[in-house]
Structures are given as structure tokens and as C-alpha cells.
Structure 1
Amino acid sequence: MATVGFPLHRSVFDDNIKLVSKLIRTCDVSQRDNHGNTPLHIAIMLGHKECIHLLLAHGAPIKIKNAMGWTPLAEAISYGDRQTILLVLRKFKQQSRESLEERRPMLVQALKDIGDFDLELKWDFQSWVPLVSRMLPSDICRIRKKGSRIRLDTTLVDFTEMRWERGDITFLFNGESKPRQSLSVLDNKAEVFQRVRYEDSDIELEEEVDILMSSDIVAAQMSTKKISFSRAQSGWLFREDKSEMIGDFRSDFYSVNNLVLESRKRREHLSVEDIQKNKAIMENISKGTWDNSVDGTNGQQLERRRSLQSPTKTGYTWDDYMDAPPGQPPCLGREWISKESSKSFKATIAMSDEFPMTVEVLLDVLEVVAPFKQFQKLRDFMTSKLPPGFPVRIGWGSIELPASRFPLPASRLTLHVAMCH
């Protein structure tokens, strides 16, 4: 029999809006069931719009993932109702802003508490696939901090799976300013600047919905559950723990074991034309012929994507759903079309106790002043349980797992860190 204990989930499943209105006052809207789904996941997968509106109005979280790694926004894209996607996307951005504002006093205080510094980071995304290396980005990023003020200079403006953008950009963060005036961006080539807006315009949101509706739904995570570190060895006859100077800092080297990047893609919402177009873009990237400054529209405004026809209503009952093995629920929405890949990394890391900064401080600084799209792989790694010290050098290569049916391009990321004097 079905497991009890999820009354709000069940009322949403049954589209019992009166009961949902009653239970939502006392139940946790972020509670996850046996499959990791929140009530909002279920409402979106089943297309229960009144429940969706009610749950969002009561703060149902958007960023939370179910057992298969999908957020409510991902399920909204799969279902294909444009207004629902827009509503969930808008709420997601609002929740992100509110979360940052809640953490802002703590971040500003952390900046005041640490000493002033001048830090230079260099990272390179490289590939062993011919002609791809020159298409992948690298960057030298300099961070200067004084009091609660930060300046970050970078040449890599944005990096996503399909495109990246070069520039000469400076982020200026002033912790003493009002929240809506604290972050500015300077384009040093164009000699212009602007205050970072905390809210996207309606046109920008609509354009983002178009992109979401025409792209793969991707869930990628760095699996660190089984990760372990062992001291790297040096020497031929007499093996000993490897240590050496990196810049001015004595550093101990470690081998990183059991580091895996897992990726899932879904495309049940895409047309044949969408898939062919996306495939052509990726092929052009691999051949070195992709011009990321051209969008193919010849300056014409794209027609807005229309909502998809609603998926066929599921015949599953609540008992069917709850009796399924944990993490393996029946498909409640559009039938899944998915691909999975897994990449195992061979990594080495140099840790220094002498480096005058902590990992937590660096991540806090970067979170304040810059988007993290291009740093996500590095961020996931650096938030795992590292050996003592600061990672002054990280280098990893990747190998494809035999079980991977949809391999990703072999690549490596190298990070070099130095304090500037």
C-alpha cells in the first residue's frame, strides 16, 4: 500500500484545490516525497495550474531537485506550457534575489573581517579532441579587495555549453552601498558602465523562455560522495610524499580519487527541427567553425515559442505513484526522452597551508561579484571536502567510463592561483 505522510502532495496530485488551500497553511511546501518530488513538482508534471499558482504564492522552492536531479523549472519546460514556464522562471529569479539579500550582511561582514588582498586566478578549459582546444575558453581573473569593496577584472564574460563571450570586463562591488546600487559592470573596451539590475525586464524573461523551450533540459552534477584524497608520490627509487614550491608557497600534492561528473539531458519537448539545429551548432563547435557572435536571425526578431500541446493525462493513481520504488516514479507528465553520460576525472591538487586565504572566502567573494556559469565545475569541486590548506593548483583530466552510452568530449580544467604583491 502507498506510504502515508504526504497529505499536501496527495491533494495536489488529486487537484483538490480546496484541500490544498487548507493544507498549505500547515504543511511544508518544500517537503520531498519518496521520489524527491515536492508538491510543486507534482503540480507542474500534471498541469494543475491552480495548484501551481497557490504553491508559488506560498513560497514553494524552485531550485530544489528531485531524486532524478530535476527542478520544478525543468519539469515545466518538459510540460511545455509557456505561461507556466514564465511564471516559474520569474519566481526562481525572485527567490534567488531574496536568498542573496538574506546572505548579503553575512558576506559583507566576511569581507570586512578578512585582510585586504590582490589575487590572480588563471584557468584553462582544454580538450584532447583535435581543433576543439582553440575553441574552448581560458581566462586570467584578477581580484582586488579592500575593506568591503571588491574589484574583479576578467576577459571571459560568459561561458555556457554552446557559446562563450570574450571581453574586457570589470565588476565593482561596494558593500557599503545600498543593495540595488552595490554592483557595477564596466566594459573597458566600449568605455561604458552600468549598474547591475536586480530584476530582468519582461522582454528579457520572454527571450529566456524561448531559449529554454528550444534547448535540451540539462542536469549535471559533480558526484563527490565517494571522493577521496591520497598523497601524491615522487621519486624513482625512494618514493616520498610530493611537495614543492608553487610561487611563494610550500604546497603538498594529492591525488583525487573517485571524482565523477554525471550528466542527464532530456528533449521530449523538442521538435525534430530543434534537435537538428542544436546538433548542427555542436558539430560546428567541434569543427572550429562556430561563430558565437552570429545568432542566425539576421537581426530579425524571433517569433515567440508557442505552448506545446498538453501531454496525455496519466492513468496512474496516487497509490501507483507512491508504491513505485523510491526514486523511480512513473512518468506523470510528458513521456521522457533522455540521455545519460558519466565522466570520471583523474585529478591532482596542490594544497598550501601558507596561502593567506580560505576556500570559503574565495567562493564568497566570487559569488558576490560574478556569475558562476563558467566556474560551476570548479565550484562543485572546491566545495567538496578538500585536504587542509588552499588549492593553489588544480589540474584534472577526464576518461570516459565504459558504461557511458553518450560520452562527453574529453577535457581538462587547470587552475593556477597566485597572490600579487
Structure 2
Amino acid sequence: MATPDYPLHQSVFCGDVKQVSKLIRTCDVAQKDIHGNTPLHIAIMLGHKECVHLLLAHGAPVKLKNALGWTPLAEAISYGDRQTILLLLRKLKQQSREALEERRPHLVQALRAIGDFDLELKWDFQSWVPLVSRMLPSDICRIRKKGSRIRLDTTLVDFTEMRWERGDITFLFNGEAKPQHSLSVLDNKSEVYQRVRYEDSDVELEEEVDILMSSDVVAAQMSTKRITFSRAQSGWLFREDKSELVGEYRSDFYSVNNLILESKKRREHLSAEDIKKNKAIMENISKGAWDSAEASSNGFERRHSLQTPDKPSYVWSDYISAPEGQPPCLGRPWISKENSKAFKATVAMVKYCSDIYVPRLLDVLEVVAPFKQFQKLRDFMTSKLPPGFPVRIEIPVFPTITAKVTFTNFQWKDDLDRSLFSIPAHYREDPGRFPDL
């Protein structure tokens, strides 16, 4: 059987910049080879920087995963060249913004098509460890929607000295405004507001690169293929299907079976000190022994590029003739680990909401999520989820910590005051009120 031709991939593999410049005008820069690699994947793994710049200038996608589940950014982190990581991170954010802007008209149209509503949901993290319970957040969020505008009210402001700072905070989204002015956050106590920045600053990007270079590269997915639902039981002597009020809704409880998180980690770019520090941080978080002072003193330092990995001995014919999806390692030798973790989750369903919420929720998600992800979600919601709408979802996130989200109230409302969705005229703009936004 003849091996398919991938002229652009081959030119990038060989580092033939002149040929890449010629082919890039006619070839698909997003094409995947038999191993799922795009030309950008190959350029990064082999350290061909001129090819990387050429491909990115012609719109090579940074988000595509290869057959092993890794993006070009993941491969750049493994290779360890700081400027390449920064370049890809910047391009990734730019491409994400452009994709959002392409979908924005459809999002606005979908928001208008849905009736106006007033929704309350409670989310909280719980733990049987006392210290952990005291520092875990909880809140009741109120979400209101009118036309293409959304208002979200919350009380959580910041986390300092192992305590959550409470306040009166509002997020306003205006689907019709320019991107730079579409999202604002209000501090209602201080009567100030801040526009949420549309783009990250150079300093923020540099800090994000430091974190990426100091952490495991992770690819994770929650498989829905094997998930099943069974009615949760209550009672000691006489077992019966569990059904109770969640807020004002009479709900049936289901146990979620075969909920498995499949994850891969790579750490060939990390030092032994990095691995030790990261492990200690995760253990402290899960045990509730997090020390904020220690965290700030052990903050991520500015990372330097790693020593360039040895050039592989493979030639193009070796690479392209390898078994499909099993390419030879072209960059830094992999240090990887795969893990599957089963979760025990509970979902509460209210039946009479099925014709009201789910189809309309999915209509909105269709315009804000990539097609493949959306289709997977629609299949799951329509074919596997028990009938109704999930008004409570409870799932563990750490061995000692469980996350719970509950819809406590929902009302269709066509008389919401439009002034609720605008910044009050007497509020003062304060660009530094929320430094992390």
C-alpha cells in the first residue's frame, strides 16, 4: 500500500524553508498526516523556528491535537524554547479571539431567540476535613438575561490569607457591544467598574509561560461512551428510589456509573526540583494545608529556555512509514504517564423541565462550542442523560473535596428592567480594581 504524500509536512521535516515558502501558498496548513501531526507540530518538535514563523503567519492552527492527544503548544513546552512557547501562546489566544468573533453574530441571535429569564444557582465545594471546609468557596449566583445581554451577580471577590473576601460583584455582558466593551465587572459597594481586558498584557503572557514551563503538560478528557445512570436509593430497611425537593423542584436522583477521567501527563521538560515542588503543592491543596505566604515566596521564577534536545536520527521515510498513530519521538525524549480515574457522581433530574430547558440550552451551546465537542455533548444530553433537566450535579474533584452545583430557582421573565444590564451612570471607572481581570 502506497504511503500518502504530505509535501508540506516533508519540507518542514527537512527544514527546507524555501520549499515551505512555496508550498504554503497551495497546501492546507491544517492538514494532519497519518500520525495526526500538522506541519506546525513537526516544525516545533524538530526546532525549525523559521518554519514555525512561516506556518503561524499563514494561519496554522495552534489548538489541533495529534493522534496522541498533544497540541503544538504542548510540543513547544516539551522542546523548551521560551520564545517559541510565547509565540504559540500569543497566537493561540489570537486565534481563539478570532473564532469567538466569527461566532459572535450567531451567539447574539441565539440569545435573542431564548426568552428572557431570571436564574439562581448555588455552587459550593465541600469536604469532610474541617480546615479544608473552612477555606472552600460557596456562593449563590443570580443570572438574568434580557435580549442579548446577561447579568451575573456574585459575592466572591478574592481569596487572601486562607479566607474568601466577600462583596457585591456584578458581571455585565453586552452581546451587541464591541469586544473590548462587551464584558464589564462592577463593584457595587465601591460603585466602580472595570472593563475586562480583551487581550492579555505582555507581562501576563510572560508569567503564563513561566507557569507552563514549570508544570506538567496535561491532556485530559472525560469519556462518555461507558457512562450509565441508575436510580439512587434511600432508606435503611426499606430501599426505594430517592426523590426529594431540590429548591422548589421535585427531583429524581441518579447515580452516575463508569464516569472515568482519562489523563496523560508529560514532564520531560521539568527538573527534579520542579516535580517535587508541584507534588507538594497538590498534596497541600488536597489536605487543606495550603500556606498562602509560602506559595507567594515560592512563586514561579522567570524560566529560561532548556538546552536544545539532540537531533533525531530518523529521516522522513522512517517517520512517515511508522505504524499509523505511533510516530517515532522527534523532540525531547518523552517522560509520560497515563492515568484513568473513576468518579462517583450524583445528578438530580426534574422531569417537567425537559421540554423547556435542554433543547434551548443546546441551541446556545451549538454556537459557542466547536462542532465536534457540541455534537458529543448533544448526543450525551439527548441519548444518555435521564429524562428531564439536571438541577443538581455533585462530583468529587479531589479525594477529600466534592463540588456541587444546584439550580435553586428559574423563572421566565419578560419584564426585566433594562437598566439592570447597564453600568449605572454614577459609577466611576477604575481599571485597577480587579488586577487579575
Distance in 2, Cα, partners of 1:133 & 1:383: 36
Alignment of structure 1 residues 233-382 onto 2, 5 Å = 244-292=244-292, 295-297=295-297, 304-355=302-353, 356-358=356-358, 361=361, 364=364
Q: CA deviation at 1:284?
A: 2.9
Q: Does 1:412 align with 2:402?
A: yes
- For residues 282-312 of structure 1, give each alpha carbon's deviation from its aligned partner in whole angstroms, at most 9, with x where no partner exists: 23324423234765349xx976321111111
SS of aligned partner of 1:22: helix
Structure 1: which amino acid aligns with 2:108? Answer: V
Structure 2: which amino acid aligns with 1:328? Answer: Q
Alignment of structure 1 residues 119-130 onto 2, 5 Å = 119-127=119-127
Q: Does 1:394 align with 2:393?
A: yes
Whether the aligned pair in 2 keeps the contact of 1:359 and 1:390 (CA below 8 Å) is no
Distance in 2, Cα, partners of 1:413 & 1:13: 46
Q: Percent identity?
A: 73
* Farther off after superposition, 97-106 or 277-286: 277-286
Whether the aligned pair in 2 keeps the contact of 1:149 and 1:173 (CA below 8 Å) is yes
Q: CA deviation at 1:194?
A: 1.0
SS of aligned partner of 2:151: strand
Structure 2: which amino acid aligns with 1:418? Answer: T
Return the index of the structure with the highest Cα Rg. 2
Whether the aligned pair in 2 keeps the contact of 1:129 and 1:409 (CA below 8 Å) is no
Q: Which residue of 2 aligns with 1:60?
A: 60
Whether the aligned pair in 2 keeps the contact of 1:15 and 1:51 (CA below 8 Å) is yes
Whether the aligned pair in 2 keeps the contact of 1:395 and 1:415 (CA below 8 Å) is yes
Q: Which residue of 1 aligns with 2:102?
A: 102
Q: CA deviation at 1:280?
A: 3.0
- For residues 29-60 of structure 1, give each alpha carbon's deviation from its aligned partner in whole angstroms, at most 9, with x where no partner exists: 22222222211111111111111111111111
Whether the aligned pair in 2 keeps the contact of 1:253 and 1:348 (CA below 8 Å) is yes
Distance change in 2, residues 1:18/1:140 (3 Å) = same
Q: CA deviation at 1:131?
A: 5.0
Structure 2: which amino acid aligns with 1:313? Answer: K
Alignment of structure 1 residues 191-206 onto 2, 5 Å = 191-206=191-206
Distance in 2, Cα, partners of 1:128 & 1:94: 42
- For residues 168-211 of structure 1, give each alpha carbon's deviation from its aligned partner in whole angstroms, at most 9, with x where no partner exists: 43210112322221110124466532111211111221121112
Whether the aligned pair in 1 keeps the contact of 2:158 and 2:166 (CA below 8 Å) is no
The normalised TM-score by structure 1 is 0.81
In structure 2, runs of 5+ residues without a counterpart are 370-375, 412-437
Q: CA deviation at 1:320?
A: 2.4
Distance in 2, Cα, partners of 1:287 & 1:55: 45
SS of aligned partner of 2:121: strand
Distance change in 2, residues 1:261/1:271 (3 Å) = same
Distance change in 2, residues 1:347/1:147 (3 Å) = same
Structure 2: which amino acid aligns with 1:52? Answer: V
- For residues 96-150 of structure 1, give each alpha carbon's deviation from its aligned partner in whole angstroms, at most 9, with x where no partner exists: 1111111111111111111111111222334567854545443332211122211
SS of aligned partner of 1:296: helix
Structure 2: which amino acid aligns with 1:390? Answer: F
Distance in 1, Cα, partners of 2:236 & 2:346: 19
In structure 1, runs of 5+ residues without a counterpart are 373-379, 399-407
The normalised TM-score by structure 2 is 0.79
Structure 2: which amino acid aligns with 1:62? Answer: V
Q: CA deviation at 1:231?
A: 5.0
SS of aligned partner of 1:354: helix
Structure 1: which amino acid aligns with 2:389? Answer: F
How many residue pairs are counted as aligned between the two chains?
396
Whether the aligned pair in 2 keeps the contact of 1:164 and 1:292 (CA below 8 Å) is no
Q: CA deviation at 1:319?
A: 2.7
Whether the aligned pair in 1 keeps the contact of 2:149 and 2:172 (CA below 8 Å) is yes
Distance change in 2, residues 1:118/1:194 (3 Å) = same
Distance in 2, Cα, partners of 1:226 & 1:7: 40
Q: CA deviation at 1:331?
A: 1.4
* Farther off after superposition, 70-79 or 320-329: 320-329
Q: CA deviation at 1:329?
A: 2.0
Distance in 1, Cα, partners of 2:75 & 2:163: 26
Structure 2: which amino acid aligns with 1:414? Answer: K
Q: CA deviation at 1:226?
A: 2.5
Whether the aligned pair in 1 keeps the contact of 2:227 and 2:257 (CA below 8 Å) is yes
Q: Does 1:8 align with 2:5?
A: no
